[in-house]
């Protein structure tokens, strides 16, 4: 399936090749409405069909992780959500340079994307890698991963979907585990490992590993649907 249709490209002079910056623009998704749920066929430019598998990377940084994962899984569709303009441009340029037709970039706050834009029961995986730990106590309220956000993620997941989280901050990891334990919609996926679920690593993780920092990993699955997921063919496999 060609996830990047011609109708998603800007009108340009076809007599010359597109510059990298022009090609990068085609990887941005700018919704017509910021209050309506996303339509995956529209996001990925496939009028004929919704992508079979959709993964969402929250706080995608410069896009190193999502680009590598998209390269390894060309049949999957990947939405990189990032708030900072400079970072979104880096993600789009990387996707254009690598010709990753299965990547789209959405510039918006991660919490708003999850709570207001992701369609219910439509996402196969949500990744949150090395979010800002906001270490000062008075700033803890600014942390992305709260029980309310995790519940919103759960509502966006398909029955056999999952959430994967990594952080190098031990205090934040304890906070995340507590937030997950308080969620009525999620449970720990104890059998999942970072090596099998997310073999791709971010630039942050690569630097942290060089420094000898421990990397904390947590995987979650929908609580009320976890039992039935085992009966879904291929549900136990996190890969495409």
* Mean pLDDT in order along the chain per 10 residues (240 residues): 43 66 94 96 80 96 96 96 97 97 97 98 97 91 96 97 97 97 97 94 89 95 63 42
Identify the burial level of 215 via C-beta atoms within 10 angstroms of its C-beta, where 0-12 means exposed, 13-18 middle and 19 or more buried.
middle
132 an active-site residue? yes
Structural domain spans, the chain: 6-229
Q: What is the CATH topology of the domain spanning 6-229?
A: Rossmann fold (3.40.50)
The answer to whether 28 and 107 are in contact (CB under 8 A) is yes
C-alpha count within 13 angstroms, C-beta hemisphere, residue 213:
16
Question: How far from 240 is each of 76, 124, 155, CA to CA, in Å?
Answer: 7, 10, 21
230: which DSSP letter? Answer: T
The predicted structure's pLDDT at residue 204:
85
Instruction: Give pLDDT, residue 20.
Output: 87
pLDDT score for 18: 80
Annotated active-site residue in 99, 132, 203, 207: 132
The pLDDT, as a whole number, for residue 10 is 43
- Give the per-residue pLDDT at 48: 56
Q: Is 239 left (phi over 0), alpha (psi -120 to 50) or beta?
A: beta
């Amino acid at each position: 399936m060609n996830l990047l249709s011609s109708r998603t490209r800007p009108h340009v002079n076809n007599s010359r090749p597109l510059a990298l910056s022009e090609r990068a623009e085609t990887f941005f998704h700018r919704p017509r409405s910021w209050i309506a749920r996303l339509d995956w066929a529209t996001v990925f430019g496939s009028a004929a069909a919704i992508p079979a598998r959709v993964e969402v990377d929250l706080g995608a940084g410069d896009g190193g992780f999502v680009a590598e994962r998209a390269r390894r899984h060309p049949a999957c569709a990947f939405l990189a959500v990032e708030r900072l303009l400079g970072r979104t441009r880096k993600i789009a340029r990387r996707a254009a340079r690598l010709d990753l037709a299965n990547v789209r970039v959405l510039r918006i706050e991660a919490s708003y994307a999850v709570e207001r834009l992701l369609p219910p029961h439509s996402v196969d995986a949500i990744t949150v890698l090395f979010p800002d730990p906001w270490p000062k106590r008075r700033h803890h309220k600014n942390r992305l991963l709260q029980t309310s956000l995790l519940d919103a993620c759960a509502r966006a997941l398909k029955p056999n979907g999952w959430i994967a989280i990594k952080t190098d901050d031990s205090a934040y990891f304890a906070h995340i585990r507590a937030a997950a334990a308080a969620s009525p919609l999620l449970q720990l996926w104890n059998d999942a490992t970072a090596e099998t679920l997310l073999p791709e690593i971010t630039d942050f993780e690569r630097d942290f590993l060089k420094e000898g920092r421990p990397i904390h990993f947590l995987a979650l699955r929908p609580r009320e649907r976890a039992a039935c997921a085992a009966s879904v063919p291929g549900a136990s496999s996190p890969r495409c």
